Amino acid sequence: MNDFPIHLLPSSYSCIPISWHPAHRKTDVFTTTMLHGGSRISKLLQSRISLSFNVPHRFLIKFEFSSLFQAKGLNTLDEESVEFLPWLERKAGAKISSVLSIGKSPHGRSLFASENIQSGDCILKVPYSVQITPDNLLPKIKALLSDKIETISKLAVILLVEQKMDQDSRWGPYICCLPRHGEIHSTIFWSEYELDMIHQSSVYQETLNQKAKIEKDFAAVVPDLQQFPDLESITLQDFMCAYFSVTSRAWESPKGLSLIPFTDFMNHDGVSKSIVLFDDDKKLSEVIADRNYAPGEEVLINYGKLPNASLLLDFGFTLPYNIHDQVEIQLNIPYDDILHEKKLELLQHLTPKIKDAIGRNCSEDTFIIKLNPTSTMSKTLGHKSKEVRSPQGKGKGLPQALRAFARVLCCSSPQELSDLAMEAEQIDGRLARRPLKDSRREFKAHQMLSSHITNSMQKYDAAIKSLALVNSPSTSNTFALRRQMALDLLTGELRVLRSASAWLKNYCVVLKSTINYPSH
């Protein structure tokens, strides 16, 4: 068995069933009339260019539930959660699921089918009244917090306050189920020594940005918290754990940002087709099964089509083979380029803002390459084979913005730049999106890209090989687990680079065959 299982969260991520009305209701899993689909927020949080960010409302987003394997024989009693369901029933004033039960698998607390479930069954329901939102802030604390404090920080404060209240907490059983510091493997909790293992990946810098963001938010709430004697002892580490619990578990719903003490405990599976719905009329959230389940099968949730970069930073786990992997590369205009200023000005004025695969703005020299599924199934890996595509998923090959940037870089005269600008104005304003008329220049631009990607591949390959030489600074299993996660991350991004390299080589071969060299 691998150090970290395919498709599953580490044991610190628990599974608790969601309550529902006793009467089963068959529902078309693709019907969203009068209902809103909810989305996890963590995939939208990190920005590559700014430490400030907003969480947009996104409705009608599909979420997916499935089982990866028959869990019979693995579902053992979770003694720590025996009192959780009765507590939740009393708090919700409703019967908790009649078809789901809490158990433990090798991956920790999990959710299992306790009886046969049919596709279309409504298996989970959780009233809005037992969802945690900023409205749950104690009035005396809410009155002190500045309006500039973001929703994520407010939810983190709620968790910290409830934790400090201990036995008097209104949410005690839920707070006790949240992972503690040593159980979290997001890179924001990695040591400098561990973080250096992924220095080659953009996740390294994104981790530093996220930690700086959390430190800034903590500094903003500390003066208010210090006015309460019981909260004076809250540390940055405490705040980071609570902050992570929010960003990795909260959902964007019609009510805004919410922690839902059922859905957020489900483990991850990236291949199913169910949805989680928010019913504003009934004031509840519900989950519809997308397939049949036999008793004893584990029910999982899909966090979205996320690459390992997002899964590791936002949730603290990776997949050994992630079909949604992507890689970030950067190109720069050399300072010794005599046309440096002209090229920079042209790119800034005529190139649309570049966005990555999940809509985050990137700097003008940052590009995201990701894979594109084809209809061919890989017999050896059991996954759809993939090739490179643009971040928006349109067409095949490398992102058009990346190829356009390369065409601008390879211009050697002011006239060539002027021709590109004129062509852009005549079409749709987008710069250098068409192949250059001069095949030699088009070949040169893509050869430059090929060399850049080959160089990146060599660095990734060296980083992966160095992981085998890294020694654990302690005797705990934590380092070995994180080293495996680093390997999954780097291997996936290298796989994308190799796919991009193959595409470029094929394109250059075709281009070279069209070039008419002068005869001697």
User: If you write DSSP's letter for every residue of 177-226 in order, what string do you get?
Assistant: HSPPGGG---GGGS-HHHHGGGTTSHHHHHHHHHHHHHHHHHHHHHHHHT
CA-angle at 100, arms to 316 and 166, nearest 5°: 60
Distance CA 335, CA 340 (A): 6
What confidence tier does 389 reach under pLDDT thresholds 50, 70, 90? low
Q: Examine residue 27 and state whether it is found in any structural domain, yes or no.
A: no
Same domain, residue pair 216 and 228? yes
Cβ atoms of residues 113 and 218 within 8 Å = no
Distance CA 229, CA 94 (A): 37
For the cut 70, the answer to whether the pLDDT of residue 364 exceeds it is no
Q: What is the mean pLDDT of the chain?
A: 78
Domain boundary among 304, 339, 360: 304
Same domain, residue pair 169 and 124? no
Domain boundary among 304, 337, 365: 304
Higher pLDDT, 306 or 364: 306
For the cut 60, the answer to whether the pLDDT of residue 122 exceeds it is yes
Q: What is the CATH number of the domain that holds 56?
A: 2.170.270.10
Q: Examine residue 39 and state whether it is found in any structural domain, yes or no.
A: no
Q: Examine residue 8 and state whether it is found in any structural domain, yes or no.
A: no
Determine the pLDDT at residue 442.
95
What confidence tier does 105 reach under pLDDT thresholds 50, 70, 90? low
Domain boundary among 304, 338, 373: 304
CA–CA distances in Å: residue 365 to residues 310, 333, 344, 356: 21, 9, 10, 12
Of 206, 449, 436, 444, the C-alpha closest to 308 is: 206
Alpha-helical segments (H) within 188-329: 192-195, 202-225, 236-249, 308-310
Q: Examine residue 17 and state whether it is found in any structural domain, yes or no.
A: no
The amino acid that residue 303 corresponds to is Y
Cβ atoms of residues 113 and 295 within 8 Å = yes
Q: Examine residue 432 and state whether it is found in any structural domain, yes or no.
A: yes
Q: Examine residue 19 and state whether it is found in any structural domain, yes or no.
A: no
Distance CA 121, CA 16 (A): 18
Q: Report DSSP letters for 338-392, one per residue.
A: TTHHHHHHHHHHHSPPPB-TTS-B--TTEEEEEEEEEEEEPTTTSSEEEEEE-TT
Q: Examine residue 269 and state whether it is found in any structural domain, yes or no.
A: yes
Same domain, residue pair 230 and 279? no
Higher pLDDT, 142 or 160: 160
Determine the pLDDT at residue 355.
44
For the cut 90, the answer to whether the pLDDT of residue 202 exceeds it is yes
Determine the pLDDT at residue 363.
43
Same domain, residue pair 111 and 243? no
For the cut 50, the answer to whether the pLDDT of residue 64 exceeds it is no
Burial of 6 (0-12, 13-18, 19+ CB in 10 A): middle
For the cut 60, the answer to whether the pLDDT of residue 29 exceeds it is no
Cβ atoms of residues 333 and 19 within 8 Å = no
Same domain, residue pair 220 and 102? no
Distance CA 386, CA 324 (A): 9
Q: Examine residue 481 and state whether it is found in any structural domain, yes or no.
A: yes
What confidence tier does 59 reach under pLDDT thresholds 50, 70, 90? very low
Cβ atoms of residues 65 and 274 within 8 Å = yes
Cβ atoms of residues 408 and 431 within 8 Å = yes
Determine the pLDDT at residue 350.
57
Q: What is the CATH number of the domain that holds 439?
A: 3.90.1420.10
Same domain, residue pair 390 and 491? yes
Same domain, residue pair 386 and 493? yes
Q: What is the pLDDT of residues 421-447, one digit of tens each?
A: 999 888 888 888 899 999 999 999 999
Same domain, residue pair 509 and 387? yes
What element of type H or E holds 77? strand 76-77
- The number of folded domains in the chain is 3
Same domain, residue pair 144 and 280? no
> Which of 35-44, 68-77, 80-89, 334-343 comes out lowest in average pLDDT?
68-77
Same domain, residue pair 280 and 350? no
Cβ atoms of residues 275 and 62 within 8 Å = yes
Determine the pLDDT at residue 34.
60
Q: What is the pLDDT of residues 259-315, one digit of tens each?
A: 988 778 777 887 777 767 888 998 888 888 888 889 988 888 788 888 999 999 999
Same domain, residue pair 101 and 145? no
Domain that holds residue 246: 134-256
Same domain, residue pair 217 and 110? no
